[in-house]
Amino acid sequence: MTQIYQASCTAPVNIATLKYWGKRDTKLNLPTNSSISVTLSQDDLRTLTTASCSSSFEQDTLYLNGEPHPIDTPRTLACLADLRSLRAALESKDDKLPKLSTFKLRIVSENNFPTAAGLASSAAGFAALISAIAKLYELPQNSSELSMIARKGSGSACRSLFGGYVAWEMGELEDGSDSKAVEVAPVNHWPEMQALICVVCDVKKDVSSTSGMQLTVATSDLFQERIKNVVPKRFIEMKKSIVDKDFAKFAELTIKDSNSFHSCCLDSYPPIFYMNDTSKKIIKLVNLLNEAAGKIIAAYTFDAGPNAVIYYLKENENQVLGLFNKVFGHLEGWEKAESLKSKFEILEKFPIDQIESNMEFYSQGVSRVILTQVGGGPKSVDTSLLDLETGLPKKC
């Protein structure tokens, strides 16, 4: 039987605290502003990808969650072309290397969370795909270099090449060779960062990020102010807040940036709405919580959809989860917090009567919660999703 070469990697989801919104080059996914994100733990949300190649494979194929998935999209093809050309360069220098760059690829991938549900599956998906192929090809490129390939798959995917706190530097060059992800701080610099995700029940968004940001770039005046004057300053301040582990500052900037991004969506013509009434209820709960605490202990942020991600520190877990468990405690996702529940509390100054008397209203609209935290970057793993006997995805 012809030899099958294979390698597997996992990669995380990242949720931006300073949003990427707008492209200056749609083909290369070059952004109009720099952005910052927190990488979330792969214990809770991760993609596992096995990349394989063989001279016996007749075409490039991708299986996602057990089903064949299109691989011939311009973005995926751009990623594969870059990786193959880096491998070809190695092969041209060393005759002994097998000519993997000429073989067709078979990629098998699984997300352990809902795909295309506004939970950044494309970011984890492209980061895992690039990491697994780079491992298969034994490429020497570092994470920043690989992030530039992931960026061509999906802009935000470039930040999933790192763990911890990550910046995507927008760069200036036309060929995108300076538009890459870099580490702001590793997980262990500020491991106390937690994230509560409220998955809001909704149909698939009707305006994709890609088309939404193009509409904003073309029509929003507010957006010009955002990229010229707001984000450049915020980028520096947010990096500093991470280095200083200044949660109040980090949280304020995160909240303001989510608001600014959604304002630009509303200012687009015709307007784009990603948040819904449930999202607004969650914003209200976070605001009331921070007011009751007398300082910012929780920061909400929303991507191009209604799901809320709430960042908070471990030291405020009982107060933050106490409130959200009160409202959404009936939902799936609290199993992880079982041992903490006895310590959950409602802050004395929190107007809980207001919420309790309207509980039906507040508790509706969320389908599940995910409790997670800051986590590490892509990992090389031995687990393979490929059945070497059949050359097909393993049956789970």
Residue 110 forms beta bridges with which residues? 48
Look at strands 46-54 and 298-302 and give their pairing. unpaired
CB closer to ligand DP6, 48 vs 231: 231
Residue 304 CB, nearest distance to ligand ATP (Å)?
5
Token duo for residue 98: 């097998």
Give residues 319-358 in contact with ligand DP6 (rule: CB under 6 A).
none
Token duo for residue 17: 């605290």
Beta strands (DSSP E) in 174-218 are: 180-185, 193-200
The DSSP element (H or E) to which 81 belongs, if any, is: helix 74-93
Regarding 20 and contact with ligand DP6 (CB under 6 A), the answer is: yes
Regarding 155 and contact with ligand DP6 (CB under 6 A), the answer is: yes
Angle separating helix axes 247-266 and 209-219, nearest 10 degrees: 80
Residue 129 CB, nearest distance to ligand ATP (Å)?
5
Q: Provide the residue type at 268 as one letter.
A: S
Judged by CB under 6 A, the residue of 6, 19, 241, 317 near ligand DP6 is 19
Give residues 194-213 in contact with ligand DP6 (rule: CB under 6 A).
209-210
CB closer to ligand DP6, 195 vs 321: 195
CB closer to ligand DP6, 289 vs 309: 309
Regarding 154 and contact with ligand DP6 (CB under 6 A), the answer is: yes
3-state helix, strand and coil shares in percent for the chain, rounded to the nearest 5: 40, 25, 35
User: How many residues line the site for ligand DP6 (CB under 6 A)?
Assistant: 14
Residue 36 CB, nearest distance to ligand DP6 (Å)?
9
Q: How far is Cα 24 from Cα 224, in angstroms, rounded to an integer?
A: 12
Regarding 257 and contact with ligand DP6 (CB under 6 A), the answer is: no
Token duo for residue 129: 């795909």
Contact, 78 vs 32, CB < 8 A? Answer: no
Contact, 50 vs 7, CB < 8 A? Answer: yes
Q: Which does residue 20 bind out of ligand ATP, ligand DP6, none, counting CB within 5 to 8 angstroms by kind? A: ligand DP6
| CB crowding 364-375: b at 16 or more within 10 Å, else e | ebbbebbbbbbb
Regarding 8 and contact with ligand DP6 (CB under 6 A), the answer is: no
Residues 6+ apart with CB under 8 A from 175: 28
Regarding 32 and contact with ligand DP6 (CB under 6 A), the answer is: no
Which residues are at the interface with ligand ATP (CB under 6 A)? 47, 64, 109, 111, 115-122, 125, 128-129, 209, 303-305
Regarding 259 and contact with ligand DP6 (CB under 6 A), the answer is: no
Q: Which does residue 241 bind out of ligand DP6, ligand ATP, none, counting CB within 5 to 8 angstroms by kind? A: none
Q: Which residues contact ligand DP6 (rule: CB under 6 A)?
A: 16, 19-21, 29, 35, 122, 154-156, 209-210, 303-304
